[in-house]
Amino acid sequence: MKLNNLIWAAIAAALSVQSTPTPEFNTIEARLDEAARIGIRLNLTQACTRLQQQFSTRLYLPGSAVYDYETTTRYWTAVDYSTPACVFVPKEPSEISLFVQVVRLLNVKFAIRGGGHMPIPLYNNADSNGILLSTSNLTTLSISSDKNTLSVGPGRRWREVADYLASYGKAAVGGRVGKVGVPGLILGGGISFYSSQYGWGSDSVVKFQCVLASGQLIEATATNNYSDLFWALKAGGNSFCLVTRFDIKVYNSPSVWVGIAQYDASNREEYLNAVYTFGAFGSQDPKSAIVPTIIMAPAAGLTLYAATKFYDSPTLSPTVFQNFTAPVLTPLIDTITYQPLNDYLAQTDPLQPDALRQKFRTLTFVVNKDAVTYIHDTFTTRINELAAIPGVGASMTFQPITKNMLQAGANSGGNPIGLDANNGPYFAVVLNWNWLNAADDAAVSTFASGITAQLEAGLQSRGVSVGFRYLNDADKDQLVFQNYGAANLAKLKSVRSKYDSARVFTDLMPGGWKVAAA
């Protein structure tokens, strides 16, 4: 690829580097050699200041309102807030290409953030030794002329996608919470209300547009020259390239049955049975989905039982939710109604408050009644050990990974996840803690790691433990790619080295799960 030497000239000017005439470089490596030769040795603070002078509508320094917005407001949780040396907010994919070349020239660390919902410090933000690349302004949202494919930029969240698609009577295989970002969810797989019909969110991607470590902007599809990269991006995370646009299949779904039911704690036994039976048999009706969540407020001694129920048809199945409805399990309240999905997402976004401290951990097991009860009982009992921590709350959600979901993924070309449909169905459990003060981070972490190990051992002894750890729900020390299966891991590693031999997205962009480290 012939690189645009205007970029070099602009950077050289910004950094006050004397290099005339502008040399001809055919590779970024040649340019890096030149940068080293003429001695680009600015420290990061200086570099940010000079880049700001050159790219004043894209580069924001500490103290500016945009900097504050991009380093706090755009994040879900306070654990992600940080103080990067500066924030770059491009509007065009070509500017990401320029950015990659700049950070490589300067040898500066960076992070990329989409919807900002991954609750792990520095997995989606940079510290003062790095630059934050915010995709907030990559806001493409357009539908193909046949109305079957949506092009969406990485600055979008699923609620915006649902709002846009509502006018076409279409739906995407995206987040069950509206404020979650498009890019992170897809790059980790993506569990959707529509997953039993269409697989992981990433299984509906038909094209990734992204910037490689070379700075080259490419498009990866299942059949073009980048088909290996296309496969890797369907749950391989951020080790490969910076995605600038997702083209995803969308499906007819003008309105759906969806709402949240709450149950009295005295119905614990019936509730757990309903969760279990849905996990075991729910996959038989792929139009259905549930999100069963048990919410704990230990200081108040409260345990709440809730379940989102979803059905993608104008006619609600009379049987699929029978164990979640009267007379088997009578809800205290139930908001299920036939409505456009974006209305439901608008109502429920406020249930996930911003700016708290948050942690996820995840476990997977083969659907089994005794294991559901065991996890429930252990977690709801032991959570009381955290009752003294200010503002502490917790939840556990049993996410069904149905055979239909895994089969749908395989049918659309497969992905790196490697969960065997034949051994399913599974529950991918997400455990969540939220609290108020950074001073309590260590106590919550210690507790969370300890109880996860205990639950894993309990699943092992019941013979239902599964290695899979869902990337989007995992905590920093949990093993993600190691559990995709040896062949998938080896393939991910070889694709990674093929497209980023210089380890730009591994070493210069250290945040996130790294294929090279697995």
Ligand X SMILES: Cc1cc2nc3c(=O)[nH]c(=O)nc-3n(C[C@H](O)[C@H](O)[C@H](O)COP(=O)(O)OP(=O)(O)OC[C@H]3O[C@@H](n4cnc5c(N)ncnc54)[C@H](O)[C@@H]3O)c2cc1C
Nearer CB in complex with ligand X: 191/272:
191
Query: Closer CB to ligand X, residue 374 or residue 513?
Result: 513
- Kindly provide the residue ranges of all beta strands, DSSP E only, lying in 312-403, ordered along the sequence: 333-334, 337-339, 357-366, 393-401
Residue 71 corresponds to which amino acid? T
**Residue 352 interacting entry, from ligand X, ligand NAG, none, C-beta within 5 to 8 Å by type:** ligand X
Residue 261 makes CB contacts below 8 A (sequence gap 6+) with 306, 307, 309, 324, 325, 331, 333, 334, 335, 336
CB of 430 to ligand NAG, least distance (A): 22
CB 50 within 8 A of CB 31: no
How do the residues of the chain divide into helix, strand and coil, expressed in percent and rounded to 5?
Answer: 40, 20, 40
Which residue's C-beta sits nearest to ligand X?
184
CA-wise closest residue to 112 among 141, 90, 142, 94: 90
**Shortest distance (Å) from residue 22 CB to ligand X:** 30
69 by Cβ neighbours in 10 Å (0-12 / 13-18 / 19+) ranks as middle
- Which chain residues interact with ligand NAG by CB under 6 A? 43, 45-46, 66, 89, 137, 225, 273, 277-278, 281, 319-320, 322-323
Backbone angles phi, psi at 250, to 5 degrees: -125, 160
Q: How far is the CB of 231 from ligand NAG (least distance, A)?
A: 13
298 touches which of ligand X, ligand NAG, none (CB within 5 to 8 A by kind)? none
Q: Which does 124 bind (CB under 5 to 8 A by kind): ligand NAG, ligand X, none?
A: ligand X
**Contact between residue 186 and residue 235 where contact means Cβ atoms under 8 Å apart:** no
Nearer to ligand X, 151 or 352 (CB): 352
Q: How far is the CB of 129 from ligand NAG (least distance, A)?
A: 8
**Other CB atoms within 10 Å distance of the CB of residue 37:** 10
In whole angstroms, give the CA distance from residue 83 to residue 44.
13
- Residue 380 contact, options ligand X, ligand NAG, none, Cβ 5-8 Å cut-off depending on partner type: none
Kindly state the smallest distance separating residue 361's Cβ from ligand X, in Å: 13
Token digits for 47? 């570099």
Nearer to ligand X, 104 or 176 (CB): 176
Which residues contact ligand X (rule: CB under 6 A)?
76, 112-118, 123-124, 135, 154, 175-177, 180-181, 183-185, 187-188, 190-191, 238, 242-243, 352, 472, 511-512
Q: Which is nearer to ligand NAG, 318 or 350 (CB)?
A: 318
Looking up tokens 């529950």 gives 427
Distance, in Å, from the CA atom of 183 to the CA atom of 53, rounded to the nearest integer, reads 30
Closer Cβ to ligand X, 123 or 379, answer by number: 123
Question: 76 touches which of ligand NAG, ligand X, none (CB within 5 to 8 A by kind)?
Answer: ligand X
Partner that binds at residue 185, options ligand X, ligand NAG, none, CB closer than 5 to 8 Å by kind: ligand X
Nearer to ligand X, 119 or 458 (CB): 119
d(CA 49, CA 55): 10
Closer CB to ligand X, 25 or 230, in the complex = 230
Q: How far is the CB of 155 from ligand X (least distance, A)?
A: 9
With CB under 5 to 8 Å by kind, the binding choice for 113 among ligand NAG, ligand X, none is ligand X
Q: How far is the CB of 183 from ligand X (least distance, A)?
A: 3
- Sign of the CA dihedral running 240, 244, 247, 248: positive
For the chain, the residue count is: 518
